[in-house]
Amino acid sequence: MSFPLMEYLDVTGCEPKAIHDYKVGVKWLNVYRDLESFREYRKRGELSLRRWLHSLKGPRIYSDGASDDVWPGLHGVLMESRDLLRKICSMSFARAEAAHLG
């Protein structure tokens, strides 16, 4: 089941076809959102790394990754990498500035 497709069809007023053939027990995973959620739950002491990793076991499908359309997943990786580099640069700049001001 493609949730983005279902959302698109809903927004455009189209009627999605009923799906009768699907696998039970497959997890739908958005890597970036799931990681953000894990960090938040961990801060609050509600989820350990071990429990989170255990929750990822089993068959899954990724929201931004598909073998027949790699661009959404690649775009997500590039955007996350850009954001991480910005954070690292700003932290480095702040440390250098603090060391300079002494």
pTM for the full model?
0.53
What pLDDT is stored for residue 51 in this prediction?
Answer: 95
- Strands (E) across the chain are located at 27-29, 60-62
Please report, for the chain, the start and end positions of each structural domain, with discontinuous segments joined by +.
24-63, 68-102
pLDDT in tens, 26-74: 888 887 788 889 999 999 999 999 999 999 899 988 777 777 777 777 7
Are the CB atoms for 84 and 49 separated by under 8 Å?
no
Give the chain's mean pLDDT: 84
Enter the tokens of residue 80.
């996350």
What pLDDT is stored for residue 72 in this prediction?
Answer: 73
Contacts for 83-88: CB closer than 8 Å, 24+ residues apart: none
What pLDDT is stored for residue 102 in this prediction?
Answer: 63
d(CA 39, CA 41): 6
